[in-house]
Every structure is written in structure tokens, then in C-alpha cells.
Amino acid sequence: MPTPTRSRDQSPDRRPALDELIGLAGLLRAWRAAAGTKMRRSKPLSQAEVAARAGMTERWYGELERGASPRLGRPKIDQLAAALLLDEDQRETLYLYTDGGSPPRSPTPPGHADGLHPLQLLLDHQMPRPAYLSDAAWNIVGFNRAMAQWFPWVLEPRPNLMRWALLHPDAREQYVGWEEHAGIYLAMVRMALVKHDRLPELVSLLNEVLADSDCRRIWDSKPELVSHRDGHVFRLHISRFDHQDIEVISQVLYPAAFPDLRFVAITWLGSREDPGAEAARRSPSVAEGSRERATATRSVQGTPTRPYWALDSFEAARSLAGSSPVDLPGLSEAAGRDTRLTADCSGQNVIWATSEAGGMVAFEDLSTQEALARIPVPALTAGARREYQNLLRSTLAPDGPTATRQIDELLAPHSAAIDLLVDLRGQLSPATAAGSSQSLSHSESDTATERARELAGRLGASPR
């Protein structure tokens, strides 16, 4: 019996054609087989079944699996993708083969939190640079603490970048050259309406914006389209930084899992230093100034907008500490009634929140050192002492020897003062006064006592 010979196509050394490896025909056959498995069948769906499910003839579908390359309309592509039970990546591949582009995606709805936690972590890691996440209609769906500090409007209910930037009076002060910014933002809205096929929320936003005469004039005079502001350099006038102008660059990224979302980071130029540092050096009582402004505003009733440094709840204030906040119940109790303290995961900042009249919660974003300086140490419970020590440790060097030296430096001025007090206390002791020929006179004793009280007061203690 003659030995069968292999045809050239059957040779194990033959290299398959590229179309056989990644062509649509082979993928359709594989997807048809996988669809049978997904439907708990022992065999693939037949071509006839796929054709019927997709609303096409069996012959027409069969031509696709034999290598035909027709261009399909988007509704027909979606029908075929549904018939084959394709996932998002497979559906995109089908679009690329048959339409030449990517499929339309449904915009992420406002408040959609599923899967956004990793993006919130990325936002937090941009600190101290402001960063935010917005959806297709520029609703803010995530932001970090720096963003709230620079632009407190993100703390308001349902914050929207375009609505604030184009309509709020503060935006016209904070954007240096507001009209130029408005032109760019309106061009972005025009582009988004084309890209998202007149998304109703975008149409509503546009109508609201164009009710403003300035925006309508700019819209009519500049029929331009802009996709994004990535790499745009501009100047901001931020009240948080003692009203100094700063130059920044915006950087825009699109998360692969949520391509309709924008991840935007704002980086200041010209210095590696936080632009607020210089303002803080010129005005060392920045935190006190914020507190005074909050106090003054709390006494005003019926203001049309909420003060930016007040929130609706302690939970809202707690959220400013980032994605992994650290509650400080012991220190909160020591800080005073109706006060809650929350540290960020790095231990470098503390949100100090206080309940106020009218149900509002005033807050301050303090450095850990500022927060610890406010805590009455003698009143700490055992739990509060542990929280205090943990916070203090987070401000020191990570290695033990360096941290120990830093503690010694902190102790040095207090140790000298304590030595003076102990020595003075010995001089004031009745036993010492009775047995010493150099006992203090009444006037000298009174003067020394007053000095001791003054010094002890500076140290936060009271001499007995």
C-alpha cells in the first residue's frame, strides 16, 4: 500500500498566512465555537444559527467566514456581536475589521463608582499637585485633596467643570485671561457633542452655558473645535496662595477601562516647590486666617452659596483625607467636643473638622505638625497617646537612628526649660527654704513664682 504523501499545505513546516492567524474569518469561526460553549452546548453554534440571530442570510454570513470583507453598518455589527456573545474587546475587534473604527461606548454615568477605586488611588498619588477625573459631560467623578484646596467648588453637589469655568464669577477671576479659556472650553464642548452624538446631558449643558451673553458671543464668533487641553500652559490666580499668579500645565490621560473619562493633573511650572509655600512663609497664619473667615461666614444667615471651607457632614470632611483615611478617635476627643480628626494614609496631613450651627461642618487641612501643636497633651488617654505617637512618628525620618536624633533635637529646648523649673521648684520647697541660710525673701519668692508660672504656661504646664 503506497505511503500517503503530504500536500504542501499539510506540511508541518508550512508557515500559515497572516490572514489565517489574525484574519476575521478565523476569528468568526473561533467566536462561533466559543458561543456554543458559553451557551453550555457540546458543539459550536452553526452558521445558520448565527445568521438567524444576527438578522442576515446563512449564505451572507458564510461568505464572511470564507474571507469576504464587506463593510457593515454599525447596527448590523452590533447585531452580529450580540449573536456571537462577544465581550467588549472582541466587539471592538469586529468593528475594526468591518467598520474601520472603534465602537461607540456608553458614557460612564455620573456617580458610577464601580472600578474607579484604582483611579482614585492614582489621583491621591499626584499630591501635592491637583488632579481630577471627569466624565464625558465634565461632571467631576473623582479628585484629590489638592484639587479641593485649589478649587473648593469640587466639594459642591454634582460639580461640573464646564459649568463652573464658564458661568461662575470665581472662574473669571481665577483664570488669567478668562475669555481665552472660555473659547477653548466652548470649542471642547462643540467637539464633545460631535464625538458623543449629541449626548442629552451635553446638549443641556450647552443650552445652560449659552444663556450667558458672554459665552454666546464667544460661541458665535469662534466656530472652533478642540479635543483636549493636554499640554496647555496657562496662568491661574489662586486665593489660597495669597492671590499670587502661578503658571501651570494641564496633562490629560484617558483610562483604558473608561475611555470616556479624563484623568487631568495640573502641574505648576518654574519651581519644584508647592506654589503655596512662598505664600505660607509670607503669611505664617494662613490656617488661622481660614479659621477667621469661616467664623465670620458662619454668622451670616441665608447666604446664596455655601462657604467653601464648610461641608454637609463629617463623612464629607473625612473623604478629603484621600482613599485610605485614618480615623483618630482618641485625638478627636482630646481636641474638643464635636471635633473629628482624620489623617491621610501618609500621615503628613490631618483634616480637622468641627460641627457648627446649622448642621454644617467646618474643616481645616493642616500639616501633622500643626495639628499636633493644637492637641492638649496632658489630657490624652492611653489610646490618644498611641495615636499622637503614631502621627508624630510619621513626621520623622524612616530609619531609627535619624528619627532618634530628630527626637533629641525636639527634646533639647524642653529639657533645658524643665531643668530650670525643677531647680526653681527646689528653691521654693519649704524644706529647702527652712534649712538654707540663703532662703528667698517673700518678694523674691513671689517674683520667682510668677516667672515659673509664665515659663510653665509657655510649656503648657502649671507649677504646683
CATH number at residue 180: 3.30.450.180
Residues 122, 266, single domain; the answer is yes
Query: Is 11 part of a structural domain of the chain?
Result: no
Query: Is 150 part of a structural domain of the chain?
Result: yes
**Domain end (from 98, 128, 147):** 98
**Domain end (from 226, 261, 281):** 281
Residues 250, 141, single domain; the answer is yes
Angstrom distance (rounded) from CA 335 to CA 313? 18
Query: Is 389 part of a structural domain of the chain?
Result: yes
Residues 162, 64, single domain; the answer is no
pLDDT at residue number 436? 47
Residues 236, 376, single domain; the answer is no
Residues of the chain with pLDDT under 70: 1-22, 70, 99-114, 239-243, 270-310, 357, 430-464
* Among 137, 104, 135, residue whose Cα is nearest residue 204: 137
Residues 220, 85, single domain; the answer is no
Residues 305, 222, single domain; the answer is no
Q: What's the whole-number average pLDDT of the chain?
A: 78
| Phi, psi angles (nearest 5°) of residue 364 | -135, 140
Residues 382, 445, single domain; the answer is no
pTM over 0.95: no
Residues 130, 273, single domain; the answer is yes
* Among 347, 397, 355, residue whose Cα is nearest residue 372: 347
Angstrom distance (rounded) from CA 73 to CA 50? 17
- Tell me the pLDDT tens digit for each residue of 142-175: 998 889 888 989 988 899 999 999 999 999 999 9
Residues 123, 258, single domain; the answer is yes
Query: Is 8 part of a structural domain of the chain?
Result: no
pLDDT at residue number 451? 55
Domain range for 447: 400-430+439-459
Nine cell digits for residue 385: 497617646
Kind and range of the H or E run holding 355: strand 349-355
Q: Which residues, other chains included, contact 136 with Cβ-Cβ below 8 Å and sequence gap of 6+?
A: 107, 108, 192, 196, 199, 201, 202, 260, 261
CATH number at residue 35: 1.10.260.40
- If one counts the domains in the chain, the total is 4
**Domain end (from 281, 309, 342):** 281
Residues 252, 296, single domain; the answer is no
Query: Is 104 part of a structural domain of the chain?
Result: no
pLDDT at residue number 53? 93
